[in-house]
């Protein structure tokens, strides 16, 4: 029942290919009239359904959700559900596994996951009068996609996180009058005349969610680490409220000691026409240097103020944070208690059926490291299978996580990642023993892998002022774990307005919809910066469709260390290379390239992978029954001139070498 949908189309592709939507974006959303069909739900395309808990205050706010909506499962939101009370099934059956006996007429049902199909729960609540059903996940890893056991189209069905659901459930059962939560689920506005709001997930984040505090010490001011405060603000009302100001305050809260304001700014708009639904507010870039007191949290608080009093204040203020650590980097949210990145859903690109990208893909975050000198230590990732029974890992023996260093200008100096600009510098290898010996290794789990160099030993140095692309090698049918909650696009848009480009992640090995073409961050292949109301940097398009970019942040974290082991006292595995010998010839290659490997012990199964310098899997081949020596021959006739890598895997060990195709 996990979300296994294919990649959502890129932003620019939607704008180019949907001419009707582009033309309509200059109108206020209220001009669209009735919505709710699968063909033209403009509101949902723009900002997604607004899902908010209004009260009590302790549980109020925008909530992360997943939404059931197909031709035979769930229904679209067509009528705003404003300030509706929640209700739960009878005592002892919070799962709604049987007929609901309480009267739910005109209320929003809150039930827990488990016991039966999502559609059966929804049907039971709908039969008792519910106007919408909210299902609480019983697992702590966010929300998932919901499948239907039977056809149900009675009312909208949502899922929220266990943390949010448990908090609402506790208020519902605390016996205090007025503590029963009230929710609003709407496509756009609440019917107010004056109503501006910060769009959920429409606020600028920092480069990383977690970053070592040593990266922000005095004197380190790279463009990638600039603070960019800004947010997308929508006019959910029917009239212009006059001058609008977005205030931003960034504060450092050390784990020990007093807090301090790092930066504050404000951005004004003289008027907010109802005919322009969304405007982007961005303050100046700023440095966050001199923070030397160690671990802590940096929080930016955004507040909207208007000349005319706002009639709904619930979305006028929000805060976003990132964390300073001793050695951890994480682009996605991170669970500091259980020590792993957080993934809320899983997706894969729409892979083709032909080489080089038809069977495997690499998708991961881009990290900038300002201050190097240490060593890569451990990489963490997560994934899920669509085929392994019970999600027990049985179809693969291991997963490689590749570390590429990106150097712009090897091809063309243009701020875009292109062929020949990626250098493979390290591999993290996660091996999966048989399910009999390790049944806990299930897909959707969080996995740690030690980072190794080209010889299969450790000590891979981290360079200063460098970009690193880090991604697991996943095959068709395996889905990458994504944050699912945070949205990297607003920062991408903001940095573009300052003349730089932010890389939250490399999107995928190919074009925006089918897995073909090179892995590049060109405008047509990823999160293209697109203008908002009245601005003409690229065009006059308003209300960009950015809701499809929410959550597309791979949940891949890693740690570094400045500690240099004493190799004279370490185990043999830290000194000897993985295999007795590994050579590539001829190099440069013109027609064929050969890999010759010698092993210390009988190898059994040996896998070979060819990667290009654009982060694509070119070819894979597996040899079985290998003893102490093996040879792999690959025809290079279809390869363009350039740099490539051959990776050899056997018995949980790996080595790789670079070769060049030159004709």
The model's pLDDT over 603-621, given as tens digits with 9 standing for 90+, comes to: 999 999 999 888 888 899 9
- Give pLDDT, residue 93: 95
Mean pLDDT of 421-433: 91
323 compared with 27, residue with greater pLDDT: 323
Which fold, 196-326? Immunoglobulin-like (2.60.40)
Mean pLDDT of 542-563: 73
For residue 273, pLDDT over 80 is answered with no
Binned at pLDDT 50, 70 and 90, residue 302 comes out as: very high
Report the distance separating Cα 250 and Cα 262, nearest Å. 5
Residue ranges of the domains in the chain?
Answer: 49-186, 196-326, 334-561, 577-661
Which fold, 577-661? Immunoglobulin-like (2.60.40)
- Give pLDDT, residue 28: 47
For residue 428, pLDDT over 70 is answered with yes
- Give pLDDT, residue 551: 76
For residue 643, pLDDT over 90 is answered with yes
The arrangement of strands across the sheet holding 50-55 comes to 61-62, 50-55, 182-186, 81-87, 108-112, 132-136, 157-160, 65-68
The model's pTM: 0.84
For residue 285, pLDDT over 70 is answered with yes
Same fold, 196-326 and 577-661: yes
Identify whether the C-beta of residue 634 lies closer than 8 Å to the C-beta of residue 610.
yes
Q: Nearest 5 degrees, angle CA 447-CA 450-CA 454?
A: 130
> What's the Rg (C-alpha) of the chain?
26
For residue 521, pLDDT over 70 is answered with no
Identify whether the C-beta of residue 504 lies closer than 8 Å to the C-beta of residue 365.
yes
Binned at pLDDT 50, 70 and 90, residue 141 comes out as: low
Considering the chain, what percentage of its residues have pLDDT values greater than 70? 78
Full DSSP string of 14-45? HHHH-HHHHHHTTS-GGGG-S---SS--HHHH
- The CATH class of the 49-186 domain is alpha beta
Identify whether the C-beta of residue 207 lies closer than 8 Å to the C-beta of residue 320.
no
Highest mean pLDDT among 33-37, 216-220, 367-371, 522-526: 367-371
Other CB atoms within 10 A of residue 102 CB = 16
For residue 522, pLDDT over 60 is answered with no
For residue 423, pLDDT over 90 is answered with yes
For residue 269, pLDDT over 50 is answered with yes
419 compared with 9, residue with greater pLDDT: 419
- Give pLDDT, residue 183: 94
Binned at pLDDT 50, 70 and 90, residue 246 comes out as: very high
């Amino acid at each position: 029942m996990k979300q296994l949908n294919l990649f959502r189309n890129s932003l620019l592709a939607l704008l180019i290919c949907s001419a009707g939507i582009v033309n309509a974006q200059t109108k206020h959303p209220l001009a669209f009239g009735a919505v709710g069909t699968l063909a033209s739900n403009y509101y949902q395309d723009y900002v997604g359904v607004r899902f908010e808990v209004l009260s009590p205050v302790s549980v109020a706010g925008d909530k992360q959700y997943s939404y059931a909506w197909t031709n035979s499962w769930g229904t679209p939101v067509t009528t705003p559900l404003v300030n509706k009370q929640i209700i739960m099934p009878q005592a002892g059956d919070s799962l709604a596994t049987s007929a609901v006996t309480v009267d739910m007429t005109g209320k929003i049902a809150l039930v827990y996951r488990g016991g039966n199909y999502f559609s059966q729960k929804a049907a039971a609540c709908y039969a008792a009068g519910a106007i919408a059903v909210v299902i609480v996940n019983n697992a702590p890893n966010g929300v998932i996609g919901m499948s239907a056991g039977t056809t149900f189209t009675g009312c909208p069905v949502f899922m929220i996180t266990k943390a949010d659901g448990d908090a609402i459930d506790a208020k519902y059962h605390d016996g205090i009058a007025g503590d029963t939560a009230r929710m609003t689920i709407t496509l756009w506005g609440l019917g107010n005349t004056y109503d501006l709001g910060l769009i959920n997930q429409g606020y600028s984040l920092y480069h990383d969610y977690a970053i070592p505090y040593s990266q922000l010490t005095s004197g380190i001011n790279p463009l990638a680490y600039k603070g960019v405060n800004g947010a997308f603000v929508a006019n959910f009302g029917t009239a212009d409220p006059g001058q609008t100001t977005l205030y931003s305050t960034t504060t450092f809260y050390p784990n020990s000691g007093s807090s301090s304001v790092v930066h504050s700014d404000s951005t004004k708009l003289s008027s907010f026409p109802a005919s322009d639904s969304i405007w982007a507010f961005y303050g100046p870039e700023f440095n966050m240097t001199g923070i030397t007191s160690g671990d802590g949290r940096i929080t930016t608080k955004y507040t909207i103020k208007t000349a005319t009093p706002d009639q709904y204040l619930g979305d006028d203020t929000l805060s976003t944070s990132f964390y300073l650590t001793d050695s951890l980097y994480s682009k996605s949210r991170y669970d500091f208690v259980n020590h792993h990145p957080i993934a809320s859903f899983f997706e894969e690109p729409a892979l083709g059926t032909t080489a080089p990208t038809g069977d495997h893909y690499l998708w991961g975050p881009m990290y900038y490291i300002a201050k190097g000198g240490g060593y890569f230590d451990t990489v963490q990732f997560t994934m899920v299978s669509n085929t392994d029974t019970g999600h027990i890992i049985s179809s693969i023996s291991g997963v490689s996580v590749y570390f590429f260093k990106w150097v712009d200008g090897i091809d063309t100096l243009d701020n875009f990642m292109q062929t020949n600009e990626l250098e493979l510098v390290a591999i993290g290898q996660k091996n999966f023993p048989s399910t009999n010996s390790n049944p806990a290794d299930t897909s959707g789990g969080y996995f740690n892998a030690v980072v190794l160099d080209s010889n299969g030993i450790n000590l891979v140095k981290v360079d200063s002022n460098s970009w690193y692309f880090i991604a697991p090698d996943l095959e068709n049918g395996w889905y990458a774990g994504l944050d699912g909650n945070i949205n990297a696009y607003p920062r991408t848009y903001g940095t573009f307005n300052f003349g730089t480009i932010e890389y939250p992640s490399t999107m995928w090995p190919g074009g925006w919809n089918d897995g073909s073409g090179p892995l590049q961050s060109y405008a047509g292949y990823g999160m293209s910066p697109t203008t908002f109301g009245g601005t003409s940097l690229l065009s006059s398009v308003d209300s960009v469709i950015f809701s499809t970019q929410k959550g597309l942040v791979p949940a891949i974290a890693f740690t570094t260390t400045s500690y240099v082991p004493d190799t004279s006292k370490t185990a043999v595995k830290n000194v000897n290379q993985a295999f007795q010998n590994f050579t590539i010839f001829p190099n440069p290659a013109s027609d064929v390239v050969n890999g010759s490997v010698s092993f210390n012990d009988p190898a059994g199964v040996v896998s070979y992978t060819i990667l290009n310098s654009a982060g694509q899997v070119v070819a894979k081949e597996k040899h079985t029954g290998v003893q102490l020596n093996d040879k792999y021959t690959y025809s290079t006739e279809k390869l363009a001139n350039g740099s490539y890598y051959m990776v050899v895997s056997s018995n949980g060990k790996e080595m790789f070498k670079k070769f060049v195709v030159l004709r």
